[in-house]
Amino acid sequence: MIQIRVPATSANLGPGFDCLGLALDLDLVVHLTLSERDSFCYRGEGSVAENPTNLIHTGFRAAYDEVGEVPPAVTFEAENPIPLARGLGSSSAALVAGIAAADHLLKGALGREGVFQLAAGLEGHPDNVAPAVFGGFTVSTPRATGGFVNRHLPLPSDWRLLFGIPTFELPTPVARRVLPGSYSRDDAVLTAGRVALWTLAVAEANPELLRSASLDVLHEPYRARLVPGFIRTKQRLYRRGAFAAYLSGAGPTAGVICDAKAIKACTLVLQEFAGPDGCVLELESGRGYSVEPQVTFAPGRP
Q: What are phi and psi of 114, to 5 degrees?
A: -65, -35
| Spatial contact of 74 and 38, defined as CB atoms under 8 Å apart | yes
How far is it, in rounded angstroms, from Cα 93 to Cα 91?
5
Identify the helix (H) or strand (E) that includes residue 142: strand 137-142
DSSP 222-260: HHGGGSTTHHHHHHHHHHTT-SEEEE-TTSSPEEEEE-G
Count of helices and strands (H, E) across the chain: 10, 11
- pLDDT per position as a tens digit, 263-284: 999 999 999 999 999 999 999 9
DSSP 3-31: EEEEEEEEEETTTEEEEEEEEEEEEEEEE
78: which strand partners?
Answer: 30, 42
DSSP 68: T
How far is it, in rounded angstroms, from Cα 125 to Cα 184?
22
* Cα four-point dihedral sign 67, 71, 77, 82: positive
How far is it, in rounded angstroms, from Cα 122 to Cα 145?
18
Terminus-to-terminus CA distance in the chain, angstroms? 18
- pLDDT per position as a tens digit, 67-80: 999 999 999 999 99
How far is it, in rounded angstroms, from Cα 197 to Cα 41?
43
How far is it, in rounded angstroms, from Cα 120 to Cα 84?
19
Structural domains of the chain in order of their starting residue, each with its CATH number: 2-152+286-293 (3.30.230.10), 160-283 (3.30.70.890)
Parallel, antiparallel, or unpaired for β 16-34 and 2-12?
A: antiparallel
How far is it, in rounded angstroms, from Cα 176 to Cα 105?
36
How far is it, in rounded angstroms, from Cα 144 to Cα 36?
43
Burial 88-97 (b: 16+ CB within 10 A, else e): bbbbbbbbbb
Kindly give the parts of the chain with pLDDT less than 70. 295-302
Name the pTM for this structure: 0.94
DSSP 293: E
Helices 111-123, 55-67: axis angle to 10 degrees equals 120
In this predicted structure, what is the pLDDT of residue 298?
46
210 vs 5, 66, 75, 163, 181, CA distance in Å? 30, 39, 44, 16, 27
